[in-house]
């Protein structure tokens, strides 16, 4: 199918707003593919750490991003054949990801890889710039927000469930710093696309939010 005809729903928003869970749930209901674009920035960060690469050299970091040997298999993420599904979720990796994501050559290096996820019957793409840069022609664009305290609580719970240690006030500080960096960077900053639907999930559960998105989608599909 011509990729222009493949429907895309983009879900952008700040760290720990619940985009990932929302994207997976919506994709499952529709039977579509999923792109977790944040994972690509996290994988780049992990590759930088593994290679002992100087983080300040943006062109060398972009080379690592371009050459990532990554496979998404079911729920697993393999980097160079190694299962890094859990490793990339560490806060240290997330913080580094936010730094490499500010480099334009890195974003450029990951662009084609992200667009290649767009396959029939459809794609749900989650990230920061899915609706603004990567899939500007998406049929439905969601900007998922939630206040920072609520997001810190959710991230805290998530990390504990995965067996990582986490301190709530450190997390809150980290999220604020990461929000600021993601929103104020020069290239593809975190912002809602002009035609995005803003959904605030601070006071609603996942079921309710999934329904809001599916209702918006149904309203756009003829028949
Ligand atoms: O969604 P996440 O927390 O896994 O993303 C990790 C970092 O990657 C985040 O701090 C910002 C960056 N990112 C980005 O700049 N653009 C995207 N489309 C997705 C993530």
Cα(144)–Cα(28) distance, integer angstroms: 18
* 3 state DSSP class of 140: strand
Over the stretch 52-85, which tens digit does the pLDDT of each residue have?
999 999 999 999 999 999 999 988 999 999 999 9
Is the Cβ–Cβ distance between 34 and 27 less than 8 Å? yes
- Determine if ligand 1 sits within 6 Å of the CB of residue 129: yes
Q: Ligand 1, atom 9: nearest CA belongs to which residue?
A: 98
- Determine if ligand 1 sits within 6 Å of the CB of residue 94: yes
- Determine if ligand 1 sits within 6 Å of the CB of residue 18: no
Over the stretch 121-147, which tens digit does the pLDDT of each residue have?
999 999 999 999 999 999 999 999 999
DSSP label at residue 26: H
Top mutation candidate among 22, 46, 127 for ligand 1, by most atoms within 8 Å of CB: 127
- Determine if ligand 1 sits within 6 Å of the CB of residue 13: no
Answering whether pTM is above 0.85, one says yes
Query: Which domains are delineated in the chain?
Result: 3-220 (3.40.50.300)
- DSSP lists the bridge partners of residue 35 as 125
> How far, in Å, are 71, 159, 189 from residue 162 at the CA level?
22, 5, 29
Over the stretch 6-65, which tens digit does the pLDDT of each residue have?
999 999 999 889 999 999 999 999 999 999 999 999 999 999 999 999 999 999 999 999
Is the Cβ–Cβ distance between 217 and 32 less than 8 Å? no
Q: Rounded to the nearest whole angstrom, what is the distance from the C-alpha of residue 6 to the centroid of ligand 1?
A: 24
Cα(37)–Cα(110) distance, integer angstroms: 9
Tokens representing 87 are 């490793």
Question: H helices within the chain, ranges in order?
Answer: 19-30, 37-51, 58-66, 91-100, 104-115, 148-161, 168-184, 206-220
Q: Which atom of ligand 1 is nearest to 39's Cα?
A: 4
Q: Ligand 1, atom 4: nearest CA belongs to which residue?
A: 38
φ, ψ at 24 (rounded to 5°): -65, -40
């Amino acid at each position: 199918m011509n990729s222009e005809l493949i429907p895309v729903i983009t879900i952008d928003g700040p760290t720990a707003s619940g985009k990932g869970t929302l994207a997976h749930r919506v994709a499952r209901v529709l039977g579509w593919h999923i792109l977790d674009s944040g994972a690509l920035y996290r994988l780049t960060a992990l590759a930088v750490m593994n290679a002992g690469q100087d983080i300040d050299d943006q062109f060398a970091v972009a080379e690592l991003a371009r050459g990532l040997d990554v496979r998404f298999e079911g729920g697993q993420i393999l980097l160079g054949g190694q299962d890094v599904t859990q490793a990339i979720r560490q806060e240290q990796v997330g913080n580094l990801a936010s730094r490499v994501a500010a480099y334009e050559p890195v974003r450029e290096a990951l662009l084609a890889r992200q667009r290649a996820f767009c396959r029939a019957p459809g794609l749900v793409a989650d990230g920061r710039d899915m609706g603004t840069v990567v899939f500007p022609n998406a049929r439905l664009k969601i900007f998922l927000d939630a206040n920072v305290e609520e997001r810190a609580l959710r991230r805290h719970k998530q990390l504990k469930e995965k067996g990582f240690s986490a301190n709530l006030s450190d997390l809150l500080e980290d999220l604020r710093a990461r929000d600021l960096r993601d929103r104020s960077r020069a290239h593809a900053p975190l912002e809602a696309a002009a035609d995005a639907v803003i959904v605030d999930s601070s006071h609603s559960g996942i079921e309710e939010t999934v329904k809001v998105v599916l209702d918006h989608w149904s309203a756009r599909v003829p028949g």
